[in-house]
Structure 1
Amino acid sequence: MISQYEPETESGNAIPLVVRRYAEEIATRWWRRHSAYIENPRTRLEEVIDFDESIDAFLDGLEQSGLSGRKFVEQTVLGDAPDVSADIFVALALAARSGEESILDRALEHTQALPGMPQALEGLFSWSREPLVSATLLSCLGHSDPRIQDAAFSQCHTHGKSGASHLANLVNGPATPLLARALRTAGECGRVDLLPAIRDWASQDQDTNGAVRYWASWSTVLLGGANPSSIATLRSVAESGATNNGTALQLLCVALPQDELIDYLQSISSSIKPSLLVQATGWSGHCGYAPYLIEKMRIPALASYAGEAFRLITGLDFEMAQAVIDPPPFFDDGELTLTQQMYPYPDADQAANWWAACQDDFSKEHRLLLGEKINAQRLDDILLGGEQAQRELALIHRTLSRPGDMLVPLHAHSSIQWLRLQQLKGKTI
């Protein structure tokens, strides 16, 4: 791949061992980023900024190493580890930094057949909004390889692109392997113009591909077009053991009117996992669940979930309030979920005392998020300074209040997130 690039002068300071270290650091850190930061429910944007800047610093070093860097990347991608998306990401990111369309095109051509290429390409699209990368994303929307199309559609909202006619043709056309992805992208990009067709897919019979019906229903609700079919599908998924059951239930908790939601959660209280039901009460924002959550804090397997749900509603930070106790000794760290590992084990007695003293300060008439009535300013503050799970919940609230807005890409490079959040300022619910 690199051998076909235009010749360039090698930096006099390019030490092979250092070049190798730069490339390996980029690959390792990029690979770790998702699990260590993006999937960590307690990560704050400032932490992602620091981590992303460390990756960019190594990219700077690799770029400055000149031909040595490019040769090493060629050997890694085409020789040592041809199936590792992290190494392919290094190659694509380095090519994109050249600013030359021909260089990036050749990098794409030479990595296209590699198994990890689609994930790496999606990573590139979520990493940079430079004109060359945005232009490449647009060209990939019509690519002959559906894997590449999928990667491009997945990051349209990151680049502020609507998917244009490529997306419209998929949503309005017959079922294809890309249809579920297209329906999801329509919701992420605020394509209210496609709502009639999306609702049609959400209303298909049970024989329709489950992913198609789910993402059509998800986008229908997100775009402000909720109807009985879309709600029924989300409920079906929420009550199943499917991968998206938590995502579906969270959207329902925000989208359903409060009285309807309370009745719904009561109706499924014995049919879904107790931990998911506890989380749902937190997503509801209804302070009437506070006593229920305090009791769940006394159940070891549910305590961490209940503590965080209580915080989402009331704003009580158990760590700041020194209301944390050690979990029972029989808890095995290897068996704990991510939520149980990340969140503290709350002191139920202290929570009960605090609630007895403060409950009159909370109104059951309004949904709450971290102890305050939900409004545009509050949501913006959480999107900027909250923890990752709180930001994702705030984003749903904000999107449902403004159908047609593109989603803030909370998995993208922190600089992209920051700029997008600045653009939101001044918008009100």
Structure 2
Amino acid sequence: MTTDTIARSAAAPMPLVVQRHAEESALLCNQRFFLAASGHTRLHHLRRLDDRLAAHLDGLAVARDAGSRACDEALARAGRGEVFAAIVLALENHDLPRIERLLAIAELLPDVRDAVALAGGWASGESLRGIAKDMLDSPHAFRRAVAIAACDFHMVDPGDALHAAVADADVVLRGQALRAAGECGRRDLAAVCIAALQDEDAGCRFWAARSAVLLGERHKPVHPLHDATLLPGTLHGRLALSLLFKLATPAQAAPLLAEMLDKPAHVRDAVRCAGTVGDTRLVPWLIAQMEEPALARLAGEAFSTITGLDLAWLDLERKPPEGVESGPRDAPEDDDVAMDEDDGLPWPDPARISSWWAANGRGFVPGERYFLGQVPSWAHCVGVLKHGFQRQRLAAAEYLCLLRPGSKLFPTGAPAWRQQRWLDQWPDE
């Protein structure tokens, strides 16, 4: 064997290793979607996963053509993780034909569009240079929507591109632009968002209402937001409930909670929203819900959202009840493979928490809104962004926009190292 042959053999990537990089990239991406929206993950936990994901993506990039082939083969499954990895690699390689082909595939698969947006948000600014501008100017609506979503992840204002996009005939682009108007703090588009409350598409009405609230409007978006809450378990419904109960006073929230409790499908939402209301008069009711296994962990999280207590750290948790299953089942006949949103949350001990509340509850003012033990303020919410769990951080980001309409919504789902860099530079006041 010649020296050149040995060198070429050593440089050639091993197919099994490259395939493993592609598989792990897809798997970690799917895990990331869950962790980024979980109640037990802090920013440093997300960073740990992101570093692992970045290492596998680097392995695909180093493999060059072999990495692209491995991603192409994985696309036979066309899941979120596979699409994410393929697009990130194409962006990093500045492979324009491959990017066009992948976006054409993604446009036909609504279930992977959040992965496409994450891929644009994951890629470095250097990788997106030129590509993002061309996509914002593209005649293809889906390309423009992807570019706007990527700008959102990078906390970059898409500029004039939003003006035409918020009124575009394409519902995907219009919805993405209406969403970005609020998340980018574009107060110049507040009137457009208010007008879009009458949009024929329910999704566009929701994003218009949410953005109008983030931009300072407090009355006209309420009915469209309430309409969005009628679909329990959906992204729109959950975001709408979170925003509505941040706007509502405890007195306004009481009949809404009572109405939700009359509908079995909305009981979990009622527990979650009790934490958002932040009124300590709801604490005894939340402690009572901790006796119900199906609601216990969620009620514990709501209690923590009000008081700021870390149940695991303060030893206010107990062992899981016997016979309670968590997460997707392994049974082949079970079609439900969704992750349990309560997975990772501590099991609260109602007796210990009752004792703690009896001893310390008098330090809270009934009828006041508490968020992690304090009345929401700019400095407190910035502190939560730096140190809180993911669902708490998302709430803190929304509070910052409510406190100062026109502020950009902090992207708690962006790559953790980029979030950390922003937060290190962000003053508390």
Contact persistence 2:39–2:391 (CA under 8 A): yes
Mapped to 2, the partners of 1:11 and 1:276 lie a distance apart of 58
Amino acid across the alignment from 1:213: R
Q: Deviation of residue 79 (structure 1)? A: 5.0
Aligned to 1:241: 232
Distance 2:241 2:115 in 1: 30
Supply the distance in 2 between the matched residues of 1:339 and 1:81 (Cα, whole angstroms).
27
Corresponding position: 1:278 with 2:271: yes
Q: Distance in 2 between matches of 1:278 and 1:265?
A: 9
Tell me the residue number matched to 2:370: 368
8 Å CA contact 1:224–1:403 kept in 2: the answer is yes
Q: In the alignment, is residue 171 of structure 1 matched against residue 166 of structure 2?
A: yes
Change (3 A) 1:163 1:317: same
SS state of the match for residue 216, structure 2?
Answer: coil
Which of 403, 407, 410 aligns to 1:408? It is 410
- May I ask how many residue pairs the two structures share in their alignment? 406
CA distance in 2, matches of 1:264, 1:120: 34
Q: Tell me the residue number matched to 1:48.
A: 46
Q: Which residue of 2 aligns with 1:395?
A: 397
How big is the shift at 1:114? Answer: 2.8
In structure 2, the partner of 1:418 is 420
Deviation, structure 1 residue 287: 1.3
2:135 paired with 1:136: no
SS in 1 for 2:286: helix
1:351 and 2:343 aligned: no
SS of residue matched to 1:321: coil
Cα gap change, 1:241 to 1:311, in 2 (>3 Å) = closer
The answer as to whether partners of 1:150 and 1:178 remain within 8 angstroms in 2 is: yes
d(CA) in 2 for partners of 1:57 and 1:327?
35
- Could you say which residue in structure 2 is the equivalent of 1:6? none
- Alpha-carbon distance, 1:51 to partner: 1.4
Distance 1:270 1:20, change over 3 A: closer
SS in 1 for 2:294: coil
C-alpha contact 1:187 1:218 (8 A) present in aligned 2 = yes
Cα displacement (A) at 1:45: 0.7
Match of 2:253 in 1: 261
Aligned partner of 1:4 in structure 2 is: none
Say whether 1:198 aligns with 2:189: no
Give the Cα separation in 1 of the matches to 2:209 and 2:382. 26
Change (3 A) 1:235 1:135: same
Q: Which runs of structure 2 are paired with 1:38-187 in the superposition (5 Å)? A: 38-64=36-62, 69-78=63-72, 81-82=75-76, 84=78, 86-98=81-93, 103-115=94-106, 121-172=116-167, 176-187=171-182
Letter of the 1:351 counterpart = I
Residue number in structure 1 paired with 2:336:
none
What TM-score, normalized to structure 1?
A: 0.84
Q: TM-score, structure 2 length as denominator?
A: 0.84
SS in 2 for 1:164: coil
Amino acid paired to 2:127: L
After superposition, the Cα gap between the structure-2 partners of 1:145 and 1:421, relative to the gap in structure 1 and judged at 3 Å, is same
Q: 1:294 to 1:32 in 2, by over 3 A?
A: closer
Please report the RMSD computed on the Cα atoms of aligned residues, expressed in angstroms.
Answer: 2.8
* Equivalent position SS for 1:178: helix
Higher mean C-alpha displacement, 103-112 vs 39-48:
103-112
**What does 1:20-39 correspond to in 2, within 5 Å?**
20-35=19-34, 37-39=35-37
Superposition deviation, residue 340 in structure 1: 3.7
State the Cα deviation string for residues 52-106 of structure 1 (Å, max 9, x = none): 1122223334444xxxx222134334456356354454444334445xxxx4323
Change (3 A) 1:279 1:74: closer
Return 153-162 or 210-219, whichever deviates more: 153-162
Q: Which runs of 5+ in 2 are unaligned?
A: 1-6, 330-338
Q: Distance in 2 between matches of 1:70 and 1:191?
A: 40
- Contact 1:282–1:313 at 8 Å: present in 2 too? yes
- 2:171 and 2:204 in contact (8 A); partners too: no
1:220 to 190, 212, 225: 212
Q: Among all aligned residue pairs of Structure 1 and Structure 2, give the percentage whose two residues are the same amino acid.
A: 28
* CA shift for structure 1 position 177: 4.5
Counterpart in the other structure of 1:232:
223
> 2:142·2:172 contact (CA, 8 Å) conserved in 1?
no
1:335 positional shift: 7.7
Matches of 1:306 and 1:392 in 2, distance apart? 18
2:347 is paired with a residue whose SS is coil
Aligned CA distance change for structure 1 residues 315 and 145 (closer, same or farther; 3 Å): same
Quote the offset at 1:195 in angstroms.
0.6
Following TM superposition, by how much is the alpha carbon of 1:215 offset from its aligned partner in structure 2, in angstroms?
A: 1.4
Please give the alpha-carbon distance, in whole angstroms, between the structure 2 residues aligned to 1:25 and 1:314.
Answer: 38
How many Å apart are 1:401 and its aligned residue?
0.9
The residue number in structure 2 matching 1:300 is 293
Q: Which ranges in structure 1 are unaligned for 5 or more consecutive residues?
A: 1-8
**Partner SS, residue 147 of structure 1:** helix
C-alpha distance in structure 1 between counterparts of 2:208 and 2:19, whole Å: 45
Residues 1:349 and 1:119: Cα distance change in structure 2 (over 3 Å): closer
